[in-house]
Amino acid sequence: MSGEPNSPSKKSPAPVVEVRSLLVRYGGAPSPTLEEISFSVPRGSVYALLGRNGAGKSSLVRCLLGQQKATSGACFLFGEDVWKRRASLMSKLGVVPEDPDAPPAMTARQLSAFCAKLYPAWDASSLEARLARFGVPAGTPYGSLSKGQRALVALALALASSPELLVLDDPTLGLDAVARRAFFEELVGELADRGTTVLLTSHDLAGVEHLATHVGFLKDGRLVLDEELEALKGRFRRLRYANEQTEERTEYGQELAAFDAVRVKVRGWGVEAVVSNYGDEEFARFASLDGVVDAEASSLSLEEIFIAIAGETPAGRKS
């Protein structure tokens, strides 16, 4: 996982997804929607692309699916330029769009029959079984289903082709807790069975946290973070301590310089800080500093890390 583009080489297999210097600019917009984005997704990983509304996630997904041409840069799937080879590459993909786009008049069964003509390994029986598990009627027109049911049908359609890559564009947006849970459970099952590579965007950080192996944060069109989730969570900590002024340290927070603090709050009882470069040895030295009293470090959830980095909740609420 790297922020720099990796050229596909003969020795190492090409990453499933590779984005190189992607720039997307719309008409008269003053700044680009996506600015020089580069990242890659290795085979078997689950890459969660996070960002606020309008951060450019959907534009990035459309470019990744070959549905939209970037202003500059390129996207590669399985080492091939997706803009040029979209049709053939799509046979290896399962896609769940943000907005349901299947023809409203078609039933899930008709959609399955349509897709069966297009995919070489279409598994209609597994689709029917999934729909039965979800409790979604296969004979009801797509447009008559609830939003949650439409998302589940879309997931079932995406999985029925046994894809090598799943692209999920905020699939649980607007779903209730039950539908969201059913969606993620099915996804976890699929990953456990086949190890499919997944790229998903989501606002549901709690749901994503249990799935994702890698995380990318989009902020104002820039990829500000691109990392394995475990590493990310390993280097982010919340530190709490009481601080006594000494001759050497006359300001609060100065002692946190070694941890790359991203947020520092001074409270009545002391200091609370979120740091992005935590290490046990550094923490031991920190705790023994003159003036640092009762120092403790605790882990952060993905949502807490997101808030610390973005300064906002994923949905845009100021923290």
- 53: contact with another protein by CB under 8 A: no
**Footprint (CB under 8 A) of another protein, residues 20-39:** 26-28
CB of 165: closest distance to another protein in angstroms?
Answer: 12
From 83-91, 251-259, 264-272, 283-291, give the range in contact with another protein by CB under 8 A.
83-91
Query: Please, what is the end-to-end C-alpha distance for the chain in angstroms?
Result: 29
CB of 97: closest distance to another protein in angstroms?
Answer: 6
**CA triplet 59, 64, 70: central angle to 5 degrees?**
60
- 77: contact with another protein by CB under 8 A: no
Is the Cβ of residue 26 or residue 288 nearer to another protein in the bound state? 26
| Torsion of the alpha carbons at 122, 125, 129 and 131, rounded to the nearest 10 | 60
Residue 233 near residue 276, CB atoms below 8 Å: no
CB of 253: closest distance to another protein in angstroms?
Answer: 47
- 299: contact with another protein by CB under 8 A: no
CB of 106: closest distance to another protein in angstroms?
Answer: 7
C-alpha 302: how far from its chain's center?
Answer: 11
x/- track of binding to another protein for residues 116-145 (CB under 8 A)? -xxx--------------------------
Tell me how far apart the alpha carbons of residues 130 and 133 are, in angstroms, rounded to a whole number: 5
- 62: contact with another protein by CB under 8 A: yes
Is the Cβ of residue 11 or residue 117 nearer to another protein in the bound state? 117
